[in-house]
A and B are shown apart, each in its own frame.
Chain A
């Protein structure tokens, strides 16, 4: 163990401090739940929603401050340029990627908590807020996970919380159906994913992402027990599992039903926070752990999963867009749109595997996911607004919004344009950055992803048709009845913040792209420079050294030997 360097803080204490926002949020979930039980037992539902919402928001803002302390220079600060910590025995990362992304997730959470109480859709407000907070904790851990077990645990915690909040809308059959469907699809996907992980563990003997990579690079071509078959099965199973979580075609069937059926705040959290975190996890698994899985692709630089993921990406954007063309429900439209958007982002994930500059590709993925999340949260805020005032969230319900609520309509217009990917909005730059990273591929396969990029651009043009239907409803249709009768501030904030993000980062994309790229570098930190091992970069490394590993191996060997002996007939103790 490297104990020679002077240590400014007790390592363990510092490690706990570095995950202070996560711990705080987990605790605050309990506080909200207990407050609900203790003080608001008999209060009317709307009042509980308001009070608990404010309570949850307060806790989130404190967590946001704690997360901010990780970004700014401070005793807690993560040095954002070149430091690269992993904490808790290499299970979690504490580096620019977690610092920046946790900020984004917490800001999204604050907007969600502002939005949620505006529409009184459930009787279980304490549970709702607690589960939202806990799912956020899981998202933050998922973003930070450096190891398959932690990653799986975080993923499961996150989705378990989301299954429940999807079913929370009262008196609505469709909500409970949405929850059950989400649950069934999600847990089957988890089973696939887990089975794949178990095979990866078997083939490489480790669960740490970087160690998996090293093992795969070391054994290039001759993998594991049954050659490449076990490896291929493992990767395909992992892809199936990830595909479900990301709602990519052909594993997308749950998404439209869940988005339509679940109450808008829950659906928005499934579409934004969970998707953002899942994409980070997917990128880590594919680009870091499985980056060294070279199948018979003929090119040593191209990971074996690149082609399947490229096909999934192509299918997602094409089918997602085509299915969205005929939708009448606003939330269902957003669901298909999110399927298509997942396709675009997967282009960047493929690029992270094949590009000459993977950090830029991952930076583009993160940029896109962050701006997409803000835009989608704003759009769901409108859906919640409609559902609150009209009880439905059909596209026609937006009729005449441009006249009645010009500012709100303008914000939604900006969000839709950003989702189409029209300049000068963030969606355009994000999409362009994704596609550009896909074209920056190695010498041999220079134009290999051009078809995917061309397909993506053509799909963007197709997608304009259904996004413009939203604009058409708002501006070209006469106003009907009670559209947007009153404007709660809970809808105002997500919508305007989403529009501001889309516009600002569209005009000055560097302001977001640079942090995201800074986040991408440690997220990818390659196998040649295993994070945390060298005392120079991490004085607090708790990972075992080579000697420890040798000792452990010896211990295992002895255990196995003892076990064998015990199994032999005729020996004492059998």
Chain B
């Protein structure tokens, strides 16, 4: 009786070991495929959707950690959806790139006109013996002092664009747009319709 129990136990342990080992290879392969898919997609994606890249890399890390702990089922489960998500990542990056390119094209055409109009108005008001009633002297002095900063933000945005950093270029252009709208409003100027969007 004891002998047969031992034999059953041995068979059970053997089957358990074989079962676990049979999960190991699929898990390793799933991780390999996931890693390859993420690496292939992340180049452009890092520039445009960094948060989504991080989420995928966290998923890959979780799969690898499970594999290291010999939790093959957990590793397989964590890795199997990652290649599909990596594909979505490439699509998301492309969509974001299109959105940023459109925003940059619009702002890079419009912002120089706003900046020129502001410079011209500040120059004229600087020659005025008395400011109009709707313009506060302290505020005007602040605007006048901020003109070099306005120019610099625009130069930095153009530099970011030239170096291929579209997201940074658009962020800087948006900062400048907000500042330009604020200045134009303070000076009682006409804010272009394009600058009122977004």
B and A form one assembly: no
Which residues does B use to contact A, with CB under 8 Å?
Answer: none
Which residues does A use to contact B, with CB under 8 Å?
Answer: none
